[in-house]
Amino acid sequence: MFDIAGVTILVVLIVVFGFLTLRAWKAKRRWLKWMGALLSGLLTLVSAALLILALTGFYKLNQHFDNPITEVSITASPQQIARGAQLANICVSCHTPGSQMPLSGSNFAAKFDFPPLGALYAPNLTPSGNIADWTDGEVIRAIREGVDRNGRFLLIMPSANFRHMSDEDVQALVAYLRSQPAAGEPTPDTQFNLLGAIFMNLVDFRVAQPPVGHVAAPSAETPAYGKYMVDVIGCRDCHGDQLQGKLASGQPGPPPGPNLTQLMPQWTEEEFMTFFNTGTLPGGGTVPILTLKSGFTESKMPWEMVRAASTDEELKAMFTYLHTLSPVQGPTP
Ligand code: HEC
Ligand code: HEC
């Protein structure tokens, strides 16, 4: 992707300001010479710096990755499709216009109140959408490694979490994606503009992961299995790498959550299950709702998504895992 118009404007500005700098330098009047040269010289430098940032950004946006594609043949048994349908709840908040199936894609940048950085869609994942003619291996690579069919790094897609997904689970997910009823049109291609490319130097939205290879899920109902679900669902995106809690960073991103290593020892399994089943906290309150300018609303703590994406056994395994963590001092209580 490239923004020819934007980059051309910058180049023209550099030439014009550069020319004005030379003109001012040749001026006879001293004040005009110094003031004019300083001002237009500065503008030339700023435009040149922006051009360099923009070109660096476009270089990043267009970088290609040639992770191998594994050939798989997915049988799509009813159990597999049911498991995939459950895991697909993790995709709903981004890959739907609201927060409900089907995964017909969303205008992601608009939905999540992005500044005008260009077009960014979370693509339509139903059989009438963008991935319809991709191989299963290509879709698996996109999910777990954040690389699209042509080897382009995907943006935002939480592949750093999905790389933990077992071969079985990711295949079930693809079986489900293929089995959904077709809904909507293919979504437009991701296309960052000049501003988006410059912005890439501040926040790198790329998510590409090294090749994943084979992943086996840990045995069910163990703390290791709980950790598996915590990693795949992405609790750490909001609660911190060590689940030690996070503070608002001032950068675009999901809402920061509290320190689970200190909170969880105070909760019983029953309280944990009640929270995920009903959204009610042990004290009786509920978590606040996040409302975006686009009108999209979601619970700050996406308990409904977590509930829908996990079985009872999986929720209990997560609880067990969270109880094995030693409390660490985090930025939040
Ligand atoms: C936090 C938001 C978010 C979540 C959650 C998310 N995705 Fe994505 N996904 C994106 C965005 C944004 C893109 C497009 C990125 C780009 O074009 O650079 C994308 C791209 C993809 C692609 C590439 C499709 C194409 O046509 O290029 C696939 C496949 C995909 N996602 C599958 C999934 C699946 C399956 C899940 C759930 C398990 C999921 N995503 C969850 C944001 C998300
Ligand atoms: C999108 C961000 C996000 C994700 C993902 C997320 N959380 Fe949270 N979580 C929050 C926020 C924000 C709060 C605090 C809500 C509030 O202000 O009360 C919270 C609160 C909680 C609470 C209640 C604590 C309390 O007293 O408020 C629990 C328990 C919890 N999260 C567990 C989890 C687990 C387990 C996962 C993964 C399966 C997870 N969270 C994933 C953002 C998130």
Q: Does 252 have pLDDT greater than 90?
A: no
Q: Is the pLDDT of residue 333 over 80?
A: no
**Ligand 2 pocket list (CB less than 6 A):** 230, 233-235, 237-239, 254-255, 257-258, 260, 263, 275, 281, 287-288, 300-302, 306, 318
C-alpha separations of 263 from 272, 304, 329 in Å: 11, 20, 11
For the segment 97-125, the average pLDDT, to the nearest whole number, is 95
The pLDDT of residue 34 is above 90? yes
> 253 pLDDT exceeds 90?
no
Distance 54 CA to ligand 2 centre (A): 37
53, pLDDT greater than 90: yes
Q: Kindly tell me if the per-residue pLDDT of 99 is higher than 80.
A: yes
Q: Is 92 in the pocket of ligand 1 (CB under 6 A)?
A: no
- Range 298-323 average pLDDT: 97
Evaluate if residue 251 carries a pLDDT over 80: no
Averaged pLDDT, 114-121: 96
| Average of per-residue pLDDT across 32-58 | 96
**Is any atom of ligand 1 closer than 6 Å to the C-beta of 81?**
no
pTM above 0.75, yes or no: yes
Residue whose CA lies nearest to ligand 1 atom number 17: 190
Checking if the pLDDT of 107 tops 90, the result is yes
CATH class assigned to 78-199: mainly alpha
Mean pLDDT of 175-201: 96
Measured by CA distance, the residue closest to atom 35 of ligand 2 is: 235
Using the predicted structure, report yes or no on whether residue 330 has a pLDDT greater than 90.
Answer: no
State the ligand closest to the CA atom of 142.
Answer: 1
Q: Is residue 301 scored above 90 in pLDDT?
A: yes
Q: What CATH code would you report for 223-324?
A: 1.10.760
**Contact criterion met (CB below 8 Å) for 165 and 144:** yes
Residue 327 pLDDT grade (very low, low, confident, very high; cuts 50, 70, 90): very high
| pLDDT of amino acid 331 | 86
Closest CA to 105 of 185, 192, 205: 185
The pLDDT of residue 19: 96
Nearest Cα neighbor of 287 from 295, 278, 296 is 278
Residue among 240, 89, 242 nearest 177 (CA):
89
User: Is residue 136's pLDDT more than 80?
Assistant: yes
> Which pLDDT does position 84 carry in this prediction?
98
Q: List the residue whose alpha carbon is closest to atom 13 of ligand 1.
A: 122
pLDDT of residue 249: 81
Cα of 257 from ligand 2 centre, angstroms: 5
pLDDT score recorded for residue 135? 97
- Rounded Cα–Cα distance for residues 138 and 143 (Å): 9
Percent of the chain at pLDDT > 90 equals 93
What is the distance of C-alpha 24 from the center of its chain?
A: 48
- Residue of minimum CA distance from atom 2 in ligand 1: 94
Token pair listed for 213: 């290879």
**What is the structure's pLDDT at 21?**
96
Q: What is the mean pLDDT of the chain?
A: 95
Q: Is the pLDDT of residue 250 over 90?
A: no
Is residue 208 packed enough to be buried (19+ CB in 10 Å), middle (13-18) or exposed (0-12)?
buried
Residue 125 in contact with ligand 1 by CB distance below 6 A: yes
Give 331 Cα–ligand 2 centroid separation in angstroms.
Answer: 15
